[in-house]
């Protein structure tokens, strides 16, 4: 029997649902919370911006090379990608469905390993991670 995992995600939460075969036994098996996924820029900034001085001019602040919010979202997507890759190598699922907020779906795709990429059979660029399992299943059946 085919084991299908569905991951619903945004930058602050990811849930994994499992179903076998036809999907009538759709149930949640894992929940990941990223409290910093909804943090504001100032809450993630650890230090003041760097400064540099030009020749004879006052110093100017230097913006960070990467946005702290984007860096946090990227770290969460990387962790999820590593988890899904490991689970794929352990044969915990046969097929993988991704349903995520559009921007986060792109980040998640970037961090999937080869085993997880091969298993992806469907993608939905919609944030349904906060819905109840029955509603998620209905949405997925419509797509």
* 49 vs 103, higher pLDDT: 103
- What does the pLDDT average to over 26-39? 84
> Strands 95-100 and 3-9, how do they pair?
parallel
pLDDT of 128 over the 90 cut? yes
Element housing 137 (H / E): helix 133-142
pLDDT at 44: 43
Statement: residue 37 has pLDDT above 90: no
4, two tokens: 């299908």
pLDDT at 39: 47
Mean pLDDT within 84-94 = 96
What pLDDT does residue 118 have?
95
In the predicted structure, residue 28 carries a pLDDT above the cut 60: yes
The length of the chain in residues reads 143
- Which residue's structure tokens are 């946005």? 67
């Amino acid at each position: 029997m085919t084991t299908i995992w569905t991951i619903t995600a945004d930058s602050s939460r990811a849930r994994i649902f499992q179903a076998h075969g036809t999907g009538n036994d759709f149930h949640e098996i894992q929940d990941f919370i990223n409290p910093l996924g909804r943090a504001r820029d100032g809450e993630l900034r650890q230090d003041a911006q760097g400064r540099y001085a030009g020749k004879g001019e006052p110093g100017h602040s230097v913006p960070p090379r990467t946005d702290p919010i984007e860096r946090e979202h990227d770290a969460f997507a990387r962790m999820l990608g590593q988890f899904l890759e490991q689970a794929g190598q352990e044969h915990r699922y046969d097929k993988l469905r991704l349903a995520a907020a559009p921007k986060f779906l792109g980040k998640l795709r970037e961090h999937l390993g080869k085993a997880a990429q091969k298993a992806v059979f469907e993608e939905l660029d919609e944030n349904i991670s906060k819905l109840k399992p029955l509603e998620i299943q209905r949405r997925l059946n419509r797509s």
